[in-house]
């Protein structure tokens, strides 16, 4: 692996080996370990807000022996229109790795191509690969195995997180059900390209039936704020709450966060599953350390 640009571009073997390496990173966090990013400086180039991704990468880079610099896109010339390929050619000569949160998937891919340094997609409009790799670890950590897994995604079935779930299910061979209003279902072309055991419905109860995991994400993703009122009206009924959970009382409830109570999840369900949800957030740190260590190792192999 030279970069982590999407789940789509990973193999099942790569996905499972990152999940395994995440377990090792987590169990060895307090022990003296090797510092694969020693003497390295990584840049975080963010065009969208972040709490978890930013903090987990900054801490993770330091724990692996490196330095991190945070570059808000609005503060650098990128924000004034300098092309991504020029930004990449400058940064590639100075930084040892880059973590990018932006809108277009093509920008992350162009950055990787023009910079020549390990590049990680920290969320685009199309995918959120670090989130789903960490989530697979959280599910395995809690459930003991990923065998026979059935995930139900309730909400915006065409958002970055849902799309990364589609690719993870298709690659790893687990079942994914997506419940979303018709206008927010993943495009047929994407589902065809991904293949796998994926069901799309407009009925949350149908998606939840038999699920091991009920998963949701915000109804209004970053960049979609102008559509907020329309989206909130459309998504009415696509909430993880006591009534939905009653259909699958043993299911894990996961949320990538940030959570909007009363929208995609109700307060009681969120707080009832807060231990799992915040362990899910913590696992971003361990997973991303595993990803960075893997990229550095594969580049020097
Ligand atoms: N889940 C996630 O990526 O959170 P942030 O937007 O806070 O980074
Ligand atoms: N789909 C959400 C994920 C936030 C982590 C967004 O893009 O805003």
Catalytic residue ranges:
101, 128, 131, 217, 256, 284
Residue showing tokens 């960075």: 292
- Distance set, CA 177 to CA 6, 134, 149, 196 (Å): 20, 20, 11, 11
Choices 3.30.505.10, 3.40.50.2300, 3.40.50.1370, 3.40.50.2020: CATH for 131-280: 3.40.50.1370
Residue showing tokens 């909007």: 260
Do domains 12-127+284-300 and 131-280 share one topology? The answer is yes
Pocket test for ligand 2, best of 54, 57, 222, 228 (most atoms within 8 A of CB): 222
Just give the CATH number of 12-127+284-300. Answer: 3.40.50.1370
Give the HSE-up count for residue 274: Cα atoms under 13 Å, Cβ half-sphere.
8
C-alpha–C-alpha distance, residues 68 and 60, integer Å: 9
C-alpha–C-alpha distance, residues 292 and 60, integer Å: 9
Ligand 1 centroid to residue 203 C-alpha, Å:
27
pTM exceeds 0.85: yes
What ligand 2 atom has the least distance to the C-alpha of 52?
5
The tens-digit pLDDT sequence of the chain (301 residues) is: 999 999 999 999 999 999 999 999 999 998 877 899 999 999 999 999 999 999 999 999 999 999 999 999 999 999 999 999 999 999 999 999 999 999 999 999 999 999 999 999 999 999 999 999 999 999 999 999 999 999 999 999 999 999 999 999 999 999 999 999 999 999 999 999 999 999 999 999 999 999 999 999 999 999 999 999 999 999 999 999 999 999 999 999 999 999 999 999 999 999 999 999 999 999 999 999 999 999 999 999 9
Domain boundaries of the chain, sorted by first residue? 12-127+284-300, 131-280
Ligand 1 centroid to residue 281 C-alpha, Å:
9
C-alpha–C-alpha distance, residues 197 and 191, integer Å: 10
């Amino acid at each position: 692996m030279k970069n982590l640009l999407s789940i789509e571009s990973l193999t099942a073997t790569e996905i499972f080996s990152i999940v395994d390496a995440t377990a090792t990173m987590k169990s060895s966090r307090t022990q003296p370990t090797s510092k694969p990013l020693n003497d390295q400086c990584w840049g975080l180039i963010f065009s969208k807000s972040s709490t978890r991704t930013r903090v987990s990468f900054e801490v993770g880079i330091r724990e692996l022996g490196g330095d991190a610099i945070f570059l808000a896109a609005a503060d650098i010339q990128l924000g004034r229109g300098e092309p991504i390929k020029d930004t990449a050619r400058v940064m590639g000569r100075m930084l040892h790795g880059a973590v990018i949160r932006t809108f277009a998937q093509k920008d992350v891919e162009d950055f990787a191509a023009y910079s020549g340094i390990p590049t990680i997609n920290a969320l685009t409009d199309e995918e959120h690969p670090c989130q789903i790799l960490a989530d697979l670890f959280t599910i395995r950590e809690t459930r003991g195995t990923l065998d026979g897994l059935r995930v139900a995604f309730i909400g915006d079935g065409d958002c970055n997180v849902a799309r990364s779930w589609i690719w993870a299910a298709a690659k790893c061979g687990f079942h994914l059900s997506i419940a979303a209003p018709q206008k927010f279902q993943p495009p047929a072309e994407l589902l065809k390209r991904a293949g796998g055991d994926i069901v799309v419905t407009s009925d949350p109860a149908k998606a939840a039936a038999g699920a091991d995991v009920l998963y949701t994400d915000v109804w209004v993703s970053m960049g979609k704020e102008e559509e907020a009122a329309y989206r909130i009206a459309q998504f009415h009924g696509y909430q993880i709450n006591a009534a939905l959970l009653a259909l699958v009382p043993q299911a894990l409830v996961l949320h990538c966060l940030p959570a909007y109570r009363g929208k995609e999840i109700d307060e009681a369900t969120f707080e009832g599953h807060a231990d799992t949800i915040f362990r899910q957030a913590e696992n971003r740190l361990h997973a991303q350390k595993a990803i960075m260590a893997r990229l550095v190792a594969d580049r020097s192999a």
